[in-house]
Amino acid sequence: MKVDIEKRILAANDEIAAANRALFAEHGVFVVDLMASPGAGKTSTILATVAALRDRYRIAVIEGDIASKVDAEKVRAHGIPAVQINTGGACHLESAMIRRAVDTLDLDALDLIIVENVGNLVCPSDFDLGENAKVMILSVPEGHDKPYKYPNIFQVSEAVILNKYDTLTVFDFDEGEFRDVVRSLNGQMPVFPISATKGEGVDVWAEWLADRIDAAQGEDV
Amino acid sequence: MHEMGIAEGILSSSLDAAQGAGARGITVVYLTIGELTEISEDALHFAWEAIAPGTLAEGSTLSITMVRASSSCADCGHEWEHDRYSGAQCPECGSWIVMLHSGRELKIDSIDIDEEGDA
């Protein structure tokens, strides 16, 4: 006998993600899910973004890692509230983990939460966390061919940060080809070249994010 | 290897439906998966074989229908099927304003079950 189910496989994750999204909207908090490989400079990019926006927005960070709390400690050292999630082996964050982390934050005292996903270009791309925007970082040393190899993450993201841009001449990174492939995958997505540890280019990316935050908060009023 | 998390979602929905129907066991689980997702069919079968034993789904197989991506153009209305790299721009008029209709599915459609009393 056949029994119809007709359900999203990730229905349980999607339901919690929808509840997260409603909770964030209710408190006027904008949430960005930052995805990248290990070593692409996620934490450095977050610190640079915080430095650019902390005078205008109240910011907290959720750090996702398989183990350790080094990233949360780095962020806290800059006077920013940070919650560490240890996935205990899982290669991506799920909406229920975000929900538990958010419960430890005072949402009324925040405008922006930056979520640092587990370092991985594959798995995080299939999971809705309830964020307002998914953004990815690719670093120059990883190579311009990554959109060919990990296309989905380039398709679900709304912007790409191209980090370690100051090393462009050292590595054989073809920026033109990179932009062409990105365009073929996700036509209107902006690419923001930055050097996170030097602060170069961060202002352009931060302004894009600020515009998105202002637009979302404007809708809530 | 997030197929394990995906397999757990499939198992949970399958078991709910099987128990609701008074099944003695599940024989086949039918899935629809879009080609634009990051699901590896092999890894999904592997994960299923790892988690199904000891449940009503023990010994069942996954029947996976892969769905091609398709989009339509907001400017000229052209509709086309595409791979990952040819969906962002309309091949007819060159517009970048396009809507994706299929390709991101991650759906459990139905299950085949053995009912109480079946031989």
The interface pTM score, or ipTM, of the predicted complex is 0.84
pLDDT of A219? 66
DSSP count for chain B of H helices, then E strands: 2, 6
Inter-chain CB proximity B86 and A184 less than 8 Å: yes
User: Nearest CA of chain B to the CA of A150: how many Å?
Assistant: 8
pLDDT of B68? 95
3-state SS, residue B95: coil
Inter-chain CB proximity A183 and B88 less than 8 Å: yes
Rounded Cα distance, A16 and A13, in Å: 5
A94 contact residues in B (CB cutoff 8 A): 5
pLDDT of A221? 47
Nearest by CB: A92 against B2, B88, B96: B2
Q: Which amino acid is at B51?
A: I
pLDDT of A220? 53
Residues of chain B with pLDDT under 70: 1, 117-119
Inter-chain CB proximity B110 and A3 less than 8 Å: yes
Q: Is the distance from CB of A208 to CB of A191 less than 8 angstroms?
A: no
pTM: 0.88
User: Nearest CA of chain B to the CA of A122: how many Å?
Assistant: 7
Residue B96 forms contact with A (CB below 8 Å): yes
Rounded Cα distance, A124 and A102, in Å: 18
Give the residue from A9, A134, A185 with the most B CB atoms within 10 Å of its CB, the best one to mutate.
A9
Is the dihedral angle over the CA atoms B113, B66, A15, B53 positive or is it negative? positive
Residues in chain B: 119
Measuring CA to CA, how many Å separate A219 from each of A17, A28, A30, A157, A158? 20, 9, 12, 22, 19
CB atoms within 10 A of CB A213: 22
Residues in chain A: 221
Q: Please report which helix (H) or strand (E) contains residue A99, including its range.
A: helix A95-102
A91 contact residues in B (CB cutoff 8 A): 1-2
Inter-chain CB proximity B106 and A10 less than 8 Å: yes
Beta bridge partners of A113: A31, A60
Give the residue from A4, A6, A7 with the most B CB atoms within 10 Å of its CB, the best one to mutate.
A7
Inter-chain CB proximity B109 and A186 less than 8 Å: no
H helices of chain B, where?
3-20, 41-51
Q: Please report which helix (H) or strand (E) contains residue A95, including its range.
A: helix A95-102
Nearest to A39 by CA among A149, A121, A150, A123: A121
Rounded Cα distance, B75 and B96, in Å: 9
Q: Please report which helix (H) or strand (E) contains residue B100, including its range.
A: strand B98-102
Chain A residues bordering chain B (beta-carbon distance below 8 Å): 1-13, 90-92, 94, 122-123, 125-127, 151-153, 155, 181, 183-188
Tokens encoding B26: 């599940």
User: Nearest CA of chain A to the CA of B5: how many Å?
Assistant: 9
Beta bridge partners of A4: B110
Q: Per-residue confidence of chain A (221 residues) as pLDDT tens digits?
A: 999 999 999 888 999 999 999 999 999 999 999 999 999 999 999 999 999 999 999 999 999 988 888 889 999 999 999 999 998 878 899 999 999 999 999 999 999 999 999 999 998 998 999 999 999 999 999 999 999 989 999 999 999 999 999 999 999 999 999 999 999 999 889 999 999 999 999 999 999 999 999 999 886 54
Nearest CA in chain A to B110: A4
Inter-chain CB proximity A5 and B37 less than 8 Å: no
Q: Which residues of B12-22 are buried (b: 16+ CB within 10 A; e: fewer)?
A: ebbbebbeeee
Q: Is the distance from CB of B47 to CB of B34 less than 8 angstroms?
A: no
As a dihedral over the C-alpha atoms of residue A114, residue A115, residue A119, residue A120, rounded to 10 degrees, the angle is -110
Give the residue from B38, B44, B104, B112 with the most A CB atoms within 10 Å of its CB, the best one to mutate.
B38
The pairing of beta strand A112-116 with beta strand A30-35: parallel
